[in-house]
Amino acid sequence: MAVVEISIIPIGTPSAGVSNYVAGCLKQLESEEEIKYELTPMGTIIEGELEKIFKVVRKMHEYPFNKGIERVVTNIRIDDRRDKDLTMNSKVTSVKNKI
Amino acid sequence: MAVVEISIIPIGTPSAGVSNYVAGCLKQLESEEEIKYELTPMGTIIEGELEKIFKVVRKMHEYPFNKGIERVVTNIRIDDRRDKDLTMNSKVTSVKNKI
Amino acid sequence: MAVVEISIIPIGTPSAGVSNYVAGCLKQLESEEEIKYELTPMGTIIEGELEKIFKVVRKMHEYPFNKGIERVVTNIRIDDRRDKDLTMNSKVTSVKNKI
Amino acid sequence: MAVVEISIIPIGTPSAGVSNYVAGCLKQLESEEEIKYELTPMGTIIEGELEKIFKVVRKMHEYPFNKGIERVVTNIRIDDRRDKDLTMNSKVTSVKNKI
Q: Which domains does chain C have, with CATH numbers?
A: 2-97 (3.30.70.930)
Return the sign of the alpha-carbon dihedral for residues C55, C56, C61, C63: positive
Report the pLDDT value the prediction gives residue B31, as an integer from 0 to 100: 86
Determine the Cα–Cα distance for residues D67 and D72; give it in Å rounded to an integer. 11
ipTM for this prediction: 0.96
Residue B79 CA to residue A26 CA, distance in Å, equals 19
Among chain D residues, the shortest Cα distance to A73 is held by D9
Q: Which residues contact C93 (CB under 8 A, 6 or more apart)?
A: none
Question: Which chains neighbour D (Cβ–Cβ under 8 Å, 3 or more pairs)?
Answer: A, B, C
Contact D41, D92 (CB under 8 A): no
Residue C12 neighbours by CB under 8 Å, 6+ apart = B13, B14, B15, B16, B17, C69, C70, C71
Neighbouring C-alpha atoms within 13 Å toward the C-beta of B41: 25
The residues, any chain, with a CB within 8 Å of residue D20's CB and separated by 6 or more, are C98
- Please enumerate in sequence order all residues whose Cβ is within 8 A of that of B56, keeping only pairs 6 or more positions apart, or say none: B28, B29, B32, B35, B46
Would you call B16 and C71 a contact, using CB atoms and an 8 Å cutoff? yes
Mean pLDDT value across chain C: 96
Query: Tens of pLDDT along chain A (99 residues)?
Result: 899 999 999 999 999 999 999 999 999 999 888 899 999 999 999 999 999 999 999 999 999 999 999 999 999 999 999 999 899 999 999 999 999
User: Under 8 Å CB-to-CB from A71, ≥6 apart: which residues?
Assistant: A10, A11, A12, C79, C80, C81, C82, C83, D16
In the three-class reduction of DSSP (H, G, I as helix; E, B as strand; rest coil), residue A8 is classed as: strand
* CA nearest to A3, candidates D95, B15, C71: C71
Q: What average pLDDT score do residues B32-38 get?
A: 92
D43: left (phi over 0), alpha (psi -120 to 50) or beta: left
Q: Taking CB atoms and an 8 Å cutoff, what residues of chain A touch B67? A: none
Q: pLDDT by residue (tens digit) across C13-33?
A: 999 999 999 999 999 999 888
- Put simply, whether B60 touches D (Cβ < 8 Å) is no
Whether A31 and chain B come into contact, CB under 8 Å, resolves to no
Please state whether the predicted TM-score (pTM) of the whole model is above 0.80: yes
Q: Is A78 on the interface with C (CB under 8 A)?
A: yes
Whether chain A has a CB inside 8 Å of the CB on B43: the answer is: yes
Strand partners, B36: B47
Question: What single-letter amino acid sits at C23?
Answer: A
Burial (Cβ within 10 Å: 0-12, 13-18, ≥19) of residue B55: middle
Of B11, B15, B70, which has the smallest distance from its Cβ to C9's Cβ? B11
